[in-house]
Structure 1
């Protein structure tokens, strides 16, 4: 037994913040909770920490430049899988640069289930080896495609309480750039996708989210380079795919109705009339926010047949200046382009004639969504790659990582509150609630997850080659932060974890009981080259072993 005091989840939340009620009251801008209600919330939900106040709290751990994954006292982590580990009896191996994660419980279990993991890239130094005469061999291309996509891991807690991967799980498998996918929705068979209804593979998978019917959405993000290297059509990639981790017979699909761009996270909710709403981020440097609203309504009795709701609906982009959602249609795009008084956004890089040629049919606005959104007046922001809903209806948090070209070095977290708390509304309010920088203690927010108290957990994504230097020096390594009551005067930002050298955390998620957090550790030793030793040996430790991206389970929370 560890002699250090185990900090319960309830104790931890008391230490760093004031709970759901303060967050929700502040985020709505309304007096939803009386002082009595707030007191009852704090008394019921939070542990009273002896002789401590939120104002006096300095943090849980300090920034670090060590080549270690650091956690507060009483917390520990288990490495579930690292690059190259066998994951099943077939001999499939865990992919490279693991990113977003989603836990799919067996029933409602918080100790046994499946973990979906995205794989967003395959590094030339660690995975592929050097190209010959500027080109990869067929074997290298196959490795490039196999190392990306996604992994389904069977995982559970053993008798000692540690999390372990189960390589004998019948569900464990890889979904890669070598698998066949159906195109579903409005771009299927269109000229923009070269008439294809079936395409090869998925890769560049950075984030995603779960559906209301229990399947997994995965976002194709950094796909362009791999498509080019493999000689595959660019427009077959940059979509949101759907997979059922628990059923290999479920058809692999790319949902073209959700648009094609550098997809970040997706999060699904319901409008008040039970239409399905999917919010989507975009990780490009100058990008918009999106949401999709289905034509039909969600019916729990239909189970996974609800997936068809993602093939027919309306796609919107956010105009955050006016607080409105703009429907993206080819008619609206062509109307704007044919208006001689209309000035093209300078960031597009196309002439008016080229754009009129690009946008001829409805499938084109789904295939070139970011261009269409800018033409129609949606607001580009600085890498709004992660979206996350709050327990409050109609409230969305957005992580804008940064954009050094705009002088936005440290990014920010914004909130979008739909009118009337209805995800199907067409207008909203929007504001920044936490700015990155020394005053907050974090830089470059890249991943978000909320807990049932409504608190935000933020992973950061400072570039590996900028860590511990210049404007980023004082933040040291990337971290995982608890941002408590981000809209209130009592806001506190606490560093909960520090990543190994040159690594970043990505895609945190919780078990249903919130006693375990899963998180990807990506890019350890990322800047290594033929002429240099890696800056990291994590998770192998000492002895000259190579660094490997890995998934960890953080435990130590209890009630």
Structure 2
């Protein structure tokens, strides 16, 4: 039922916004010259490597000659191999008939840690036979678990691997599950009340949960003073250059410094000073308008509309009604990175506006060798951008108080990927590069509030939905998932307007070097290395790590897309359709890469989120969503986990010793229509062991965090 509440930009392009600026997609550059081989800087712990030449395929003639394949796309940066091997045997894809369970390799075991509605206190768990109300949800784990991090307790010998705080995002909710409505379609027409909306808002946000290993099992410490819910109505402080800005003020908050709640919390980050970063993604979908409404160009650029995504909150809660007096700026108060101190349950979450406002997927913090701090971020929308924030001041390990506001001062950059395999970080600084009052930017606060328009103006590269960021623990190479873009290469091509006036959802950019495949429904992963190995560098070297796909696909190439490509496939090749969608994965196939994380040994863990989560259509061979493990040096990839039908795999972290892994399974059974368990009854079907459910027949599927260990007690992945 709820897929339309979670725009994926994959199969339903009109349900989400996209970037329509006229920024060069480096297509014109490629017209002017073919690309030469280039050398990357030598890593201090790696080896020198050259990049295979890329060529433009146009007009039916392949410039690179017969036999060319997409294997030529990913030979640039040579990452170090993991410090320990990838030793497990791949699990089979979860294809029809789909198993309603989480499956892991032989020699591993998986169990349920915590699910939506499980109590974080000594109060009762939610009884899933009925609706969940606000009061119950406020002491229970939230819905649709997403990004997460494990903060270990420490003792005299260092960080512990048997006790810590699990901090997890709750991206969104399925209103019909929250409010116990059947069939799914009835939610659109049933009367909606403020109590219903409050329960949904309480299902969003973040959970802080103390967990510990008790004997051989992990348990939630329900009596912990650290356990906490942060929701869509928790007061948050606004800090940084946009705090108090005229565009941040409402009748309810004339100072523009306090906002109620954080919403659509997707991926995350964590800081060296021990705080958690939660990122607001598809926040625009909660807003709507009662009565006539005309979007401004600023609202159109961010996808703010009269109807939203169908939550209908605006019908009962005036804060989300764009026509409510003095409320038009309320959307500007969402779309930020929010910093939370998990160790202080009385602390106030802080929206750090210096990091820019967009649809934040994640915020990965990197500490350089000189203690300079950078934060890498993706804007999860078709044709949006990749960003980096560099703090003005350095991290001070011995002075925690000096680090508390590091994220309030610094420089925000946006990436331009050049055709020669280099890249530039373009500063988004007021009164520079066209970010002037004459172009609609009165000050730095307005640059950050209108971050997308600022990136349009300076000429950043439009990307195929930038999602999670992961940084190699030794080389500091940065990897980003580009989930997909079915408009890449569409005919006729169109671009974003640097004036920020384009209607959302209309861009159809041609292929470019960083986004080389038309109708990119399976997505890819890109990576780069900062020049000089400095996190504050303004130039970088990059390549495509992998193009995802199905080697056994039988797709027909979209007639609405151009066959021009940078994947080395002739447009007249009789097998063009199969080859363009095959990808170049060395190992198990997957598509729609989303979650991304490096473990301490340098294994790259990849999680997927294709739109239905079912083994149907484009994913009939690939199966349900999954988690894979890749060697960044060789690209060799093995499937580690498959998920229940209709779910997304999102969020992964291990204990410091690497012997316990926590993985999030979001929205099992999504897109049910006639009954809550029509597509999945997981986890209360007990397929992966006991849950808190005490009934006989599962009532609802529930988003869940699972625990994975090796039977021999070894490190996960070996």
What range describes the TM-score normalised by the shorter chain of this pair? 0.7 to 0.9
- The aligned counterpart of 1:12 is none
Residue 74 in structure 1 maps to residue 107 in structure 2: yes
CA contact (8 A) 1:101 1:509 kept: yes
Cα pair distance change 1:138/1:545, threshold 3 Å: closer
- Give distance in 1, aligned partners of 2:199 and 2:141: 12
- The aligned counterpart of 1:331 is 431
Q: From 545, 551, 554, give the equivalent of 1:433.
A: 545
SS of match in other structure, 2:627 = strand
- Give distance in 2, aligned partners of 1:335 and 1:60: 51
- The aligned counterpart of 2:212 is 156
- The aligned counterpart of 2:415 is 318
The Cα of 1:514 is off from its aligned counterpart by: 0.7
Structure 2 matches for 1:203-214, cutoff 5 A?
203-214=263-274
Residue 526 in structure 1 maps to residue 670 in structure 2: yes
The Cα of 1:430 is off from its aligned counterpart by: 1.4
Q: From 612, 618, 621, give the equivalent of 1:474.
A: 621
Residue 169 in structure 1 maps to residue 228 in structure 2: no
The Cα of 1:448 is off from its aligned counterpart by: 0.8
CA contact (8 A) 2:676 2:701 kept: no
- Give distance in 1, aligned partners of 2:257 and 2:177: 34
SS of match in other structure, 1:235 = helix
- Give distance in 2, aligned partners of 1:135 and 1:455: 50
Cα pair distance change 1:132/1:545, threshold 3 Å: closer
Q: From 283, 286, 296, give the equivalent of 2:383.
A: 286
- The aligned counterpart of 2:194 is 138
- The aligned counterpart of 2:567 is none
- Give distance in 2, aligned partners of 1:312 and 1:22: 30
Structure 2 matches for 1:475-554, cutoff 5 A?
475-485=622-632, 487-488=633-634, 491-530=635-674, 534-541=678-685, 543-554=697-708
CA contact (8 A) 1:399 1:414 kept: yes
Q: Deviations over 1:171-199 (max 9, x none)?
A: 11101111101100000000121251111
- Give distance in 2, aligned partners of 1:457 and 1:296: 32
Q: Deviations over 1:490-547 (max 9, x none)?
A: x311000000011111011111111111111001010112467520000011734321
CA contact (8 A) 1:505 1:520 kept: yes
CA contact (8 A) 2:93 2:624 kept: no
User: Mean Cα displacement is larger for which, 420-429 or 134-143?
Assistant: 134-143
Q: From 249, 259, 269, give the equivalent of 1:199.
A: 259
- The aligned counterpart of 1:383 is 465
Cα pair distance change 1:79/1:529, threshold 3 Å: same
Cα pair distance change 1:135/1:381, threshold 3 Å: farther
The Cα of 1:74 is off from its aligned counterpart by: 1.6
TM-score (norm 1): 0.84
CA contact (8 A) 1:277 1:291 kept: yes
Cα pair distance change 1:552/1:125, threshold 3 Å: same
Cα pair distance change 1:529/1:458, threshold 3 Å: same
Residue 25 in structure 1 maps to residue 52 in structure 2: no
- Give distance in 1, aligned partners of 2:643 and 2:343: 31
SS of match in other structure, 2:405 = helix
The Cα of 1:403 is off from its aligned counterpart by: 1.4
Q: From 341, 350, 353, give the equivalent of 1:253.
A: 350
Q: From 112, 116, 124, give the equivalent of 2:175.
A: 124
The Cα of 1:296 is off from its aligned counterpart by: 1.1
Q: Deviations over 1:17-68 (max 9, x none)?
A: xxxx9996369769xxxxxxx9x999x8459x8xxxxxxx973444443111
The Cα of 1:282 is off from its aligned counterpart by: 1.7
TM-score (norm 2): 0.66
The Cα of 1:131 is off from its aligned counterpart by: 4.8
- The aligned counterpart of 1:114 is 165
- The aligned counterpart of 1:15 is none
SS of match in other structure, 2:382 = coil
- Give distance in 1, aligned partners of 2:93 and 2:44: 25
User: Mean Cα displacement is larger for which, 271-280 or 230-239?
Assistant: 271-280
Cα pair distance change 1:311/1:335, threshold 3 Å: closer
CA contact (8 A) 2:225 2:345 kept: no
Cα pair distance change 1:185/1:27, threshold 3 Å: farther
Cα pair distance change 1:168/1:27, threshold 3 Å: farther
Aligned residue pairs total 499
The Cα of 1:454 is off from its aligned counterpart by: 1.4
User: Mean Cα displacement is larger for which, 58-67 or 168-177?
Assistant: 58-67
Q: From 429, 446, 454, give the equivalent of 1:372.
A: 454
Gaps of 5+ in 2: 1-41, 52-77, 124-135, 250-254, 289-312, 321-329, 489-518, 552-584, 687-696
Q: From 562, 578, 600, give the equivalent of 1:452.
A: 600
| Bigger radius of gyration | 2
- The aligned counterpart of 1:33 is none
- Give distance in 2, aligned partners of 1:529 and 1:119: 23
- Give distance in 2, aligned partners of 1:279 and 1:137: 40
RMSD between aligned residues:
2.7
SS of match in other structure, 1:474 = coil
- Give distance in 1, aligned partners of 2:225 and 2:549: 46
Cα pair distance change 1:136/1:364, threshold 3 Å: farther
CA contact (8 A) 2:437 2:443 kept: no
Cα pair distance change 1:325/1:62, threshold 3 Å: same
Higher relative contact order (CA 8 A, sep 6+): 2
The Cα of 1:226 is off from its aligned counterpart by: 2.5
- Give distance in 2, aligned partners of 1:150 and 1:512: 22
CA contact (8 A) 1:220 1:240 kept: yes
- Give distance in 1, aligned partners of 2:176 and 2:47: 48
The Cα of 1:320 is off from its aligned counterpart by: 1.3
Gaps of 5+ in 1: 1-20, 31-37, 50-56, 339-355
- Give distance in 2, aligned partners of 1:333 and 1:511: 45
